[in-house]
């Protein structure tokens, strides 16, 4: 079981989190009973008007607050969205 830690969020962040938590959940989409099965991504791509994308996993290091892929052949587009998964650190 994880050990509770001190909440270090700012007051504005706490208020925003409470506001988000208080919002009602989104309703399920209304689909006809004979609708074809489709992955969630196809539904979201149409709503966000973006081309389909596929997530990739890339090994990298963080240096001075910047993420640097270890493989020099990896090129990320400007404004790419990155999820950082750390194996350890401070």
Q: pLDDT (tens digit, 9 = 90+) per residue, 22-49?
A: 988 878 778 888 888 877 766 665 555 5
What is the C-alpha end-to-end distance of the chain, expressed in Å?
A: 20
Q: Report yes or no on 37 lying in a domain.
A: no
In a domain, 16, yes or no: no
Let me know if residue 71 belongs to a domain. Answer: yes
Task: Report how far residue 63's alpha carbon sits from residue 73's, in angstroms, rounded to the nearest whole number.
Answer: 18
**pLDDT score of 3:** 83
pLDDT of residue 56: 77
> In this structure, is residue 77 part of a structural domain?
yes
Q: How far are the Cα atoms of 8, 11, 12, 15, 36 from residue 5, in angstroms, in the given order?
A: 9, 17, 19, 19, 46
Q: Is residue 63 part of a domain?
A: yes
* 74 in any annotated domain: yes
Q: How many domains does the chain have?
A: 1
pTM over the 0.75 mark: no
Q: Tell me which residue range forms the domain holding 79.
A: 55-90
Selected residue with higher pLDDT from 60 and 90: 60
């Amino acid at each position: 079981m994880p050990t509770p830690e001190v909440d270090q969020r700012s007051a504005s962040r706490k208020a925003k989190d409470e506001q988000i938590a208080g919002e009602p959940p989104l309703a399920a989409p209304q689909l006809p009973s004979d609708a074809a099965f489709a992955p969630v991504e196809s539904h979201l791509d149409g709503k966000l008007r973006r081309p389909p994308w596929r997530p990739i996993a890339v090994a990298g290091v963080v240096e001075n607050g910047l993420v640097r892929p270890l493989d020099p052949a990896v090129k990320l587009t400007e404004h790419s969205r990155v999820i950082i998964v750390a194996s350890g650190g401070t």
